[in-house]
Structure 1
């Protein structure tokens, strides 16, 4: 679980820097915001009751500032 969260955050960092009508581009792919917020506990686990919907991953809202825990936004790969 921790690896999945970290891998998603690394891949999405650049994607969050720009926008398009389909989502946030990342190479030939893009990310789409899921309509939900999430919370990452200090132990890097997603807080119960604040999980992302199936197929989405939580990325900390403060990720670009080095903050990997706290409130986040749910994202998924676009199709």
Structure 2
């Protein structure tokens, strides 16, 4: 049966993952963007929280989540 919802931990991880990925793209490709030390500290704190959320996800749900991260969305 296909999954129709995700746990709060999986949702928290995915939200932070996308946010940090967007910051990384800005850092890599936008020469006008300027980050302060506090921005980096905040990003590290959010990454740590996401790693903790990831560690708490049920293994079956984690497999589904990681598979979804590997593919492009349809549309």
Q: Same fold (TM over 0.5)?
A: no
Point out which structure has higher relative CO (alpha carbons under 8 A, 6+ apart).
2
Q: Larger % of strand: which?
A: 1
Q: Larger % of helix: which?
A: 2
